[in-house]
Structure 1
């Protein structure tokens, strides 16, 4: 048995999780990178609008993919590259969800996909103020030079998986997952004629209503805190938000009560203030993880850093990362 897996990273064109416009693939055998692929892609027909917000993240424009194959045309090559490997990704539910949703939108069958999340693994293996990929990659000894370039992110994820396995003396990804008590995720198979996932149904609804983008909420100058809903008891325990105690700060692109409900849907317990029980703080107002080094922080974020200095394991999550963790809802971009 050896450390074999495929790491991958998708970039998407818009708020539909299946709107893949680039993918990076990294094959690892015996703990070594042995093969890589990167493709620019046209998203599925009808779902191929390029949202300026996504473009501002990955800098892939519609013109750049004009002569690229549709994602459905490369699905067979992608699945052949993966073979029987476990997929490893930074928020693997997102990347495996891209494959599933793109397959639905392309009316193509897709098998069940087993995946392992380096967000969840890194939370157990490392002690960092943020578990965004740049922080994790640096801790693994392989800093990212071109974050949001699909192959660069996939390679960073692969190195993180290799490092995490080495730290636990694991010979396989399953042994590493077992060591850190992180469950293997499964994305269900799909065949034409079967019911679409919620993401695809929602995207079809946007198109039917004449919208190119997911509906956006507006918010006032001061966010309404709202109630803290009960966590979904039947949520997937392998999801990165499951079991988190989350607090929100700053203005978000959606009302805070809605963000809290999304978190609760995935098994998180939300709260209104930072305490010793807090495990994650979601920061709005355009915060990005790099702001941790330049001091552009809310008071709640500063309080979290003080708690970390005292030994509390709590992380800071940007709004973009949070939106990806809840499968897009208007900004399906990597964190």
Structure 2
């Protein structure tokens, strides 16, 4: 059965995450280029950002007569819907895609997500840098126009191919299985990120509920937070100091639980609820629940 993969890259015009101003796509069929797509995009917010312009050299003036994201989405929807999608920084790129979808009132399509940055941390744990340019240099891949979305997508596709070959895998799906890495997933009103790059090399086969899960703590805990994080480490979970798009669980301390959970002053709870409303699969639990779940094994065990 053929494996289709959409490898993409975007550029963003300014600080507005929805201001996607270009997209490049390489669709792979069994790791060979099947289709390519590139377009400039006219975002609703055309404000100028000097820093970003110096990176991608796309100015607001260049975008005035280009298609809107809504129009471009009609072209690119088949590359994303019910597909495996890959970029070199899937967390950031999909954050902008989701923002643009939301701004245009487009429901999230169903897709599965992988990331060449995460996979490179797994396959090449001894490298010092993992950006596209350095990985291209490591693998002797020529990149003609850095920060041009199509050329960056092509480079990411070649990097992906090298990572699969280096792992003796026959497909991207097998590469994920070898390294016990779940793909991220998105569907309407739901979003679950792939593991963070900095945690990738510590990933193990999932045995306990909190194995490979990112957990943050807040509120007044009965057990010192240092001990709670030590317990987490023993089951190969990851302690998150802050709540972000990689957080799987937010644990609220035993003392004053209801005030912390249902009040309006705790910043971590507010952030978790915001992410939850945006579709992120983040669970808010009590310290008591956390302790009860800590040594509970997954169903596969």
TM-score interval for Structure 1 and Structure 2 normalised by the shorter chain: 0.5 to 0.7
| Number of residues of Structure 1 aligned to a counterpart in Structure 2 | 209
**Gaps in structure 1 of 5+ consecutive residues:** 192-196, 198-234, 246-261, 269-335
TM-score, length basis structure 1: 0.57
1:183-238: per-residue Cα shift (whole Å, max 9, x none)?
211234259xxxxx9xxxxxxxxxxxxxxxxxxxxxxxxxxxxxxxxxxxxx9561
Q: Which has the higher contact order (CA 8 A, sep 6+)?
A: 1
Q: CA deviation at 1:162?
A: 1.0
Pairs within 5 Å for 1:44-55: 45=44, 47-55=45-53
2-side partners of 1:263 and 1:16: how far apart?
A: 25
Q: Counting strand residues as a fraction of each chain, which structure ranks higher?
A: 2
Indicate the residue corresponding to 2:66 in structure 1: 68
2-side partners of 1:148 and 1:3: how far apart?
A: 27
- SS of the equivalent of 2:26 reads strand
**Shift in alpha-carbon separation, 1:99–1:139, aligned structure 2, 3 A:** same
- Answer yes or no: is 1:100 the counterpart of 2:98: yes
Pairs within 5 Å for 1:4-153: 4-43=4-43, 45=44, 47-126=45-124, 127-153=126-152
Give me the CA root mean square deviation.
Answer: 2.7
**Shift in alpha-carbon separation, 1:174–1:36, aligned structure 2, 3 A:** same
Pairs within 5 Å for 1:147-296: 147-190=146-189, 238-242=195-199, 264-266=242-244
2-side partners of 1:82 and 1:178: how far apart?
A: 22
**Shift in alpha-carbon separation, 1:37–1:240, aligned structure 2, 3 A:** same
**Gaps in structure 2 of 5+ consecutive residues:** 203-239, 248-301
**Shift in alpha-carbon separation, 1:178–1:12, aligned structure 2, 3 A:** same
2-side partners of 1:237 and 1:91: how far apart?
A: 10
**Shift in alpha-carbon separation, 1:236–1:84, aligned structure 2, 3 A:** closer
**Shift in alpha-carbon separation, 1:49–1:113, aligned structure 2, 3 A:** farther
- SS of the equivalent of 1:147 reads coil
Largest Rg, 1 or 2: 2
Q: CA deviation at 1:73?
A: 1.3
**Shift in alpha-carbon separation, 1:11–1:150, aligned structure 2, 3 A:** same
Indicate the residue corresponding to 1:225 in structure 2: none
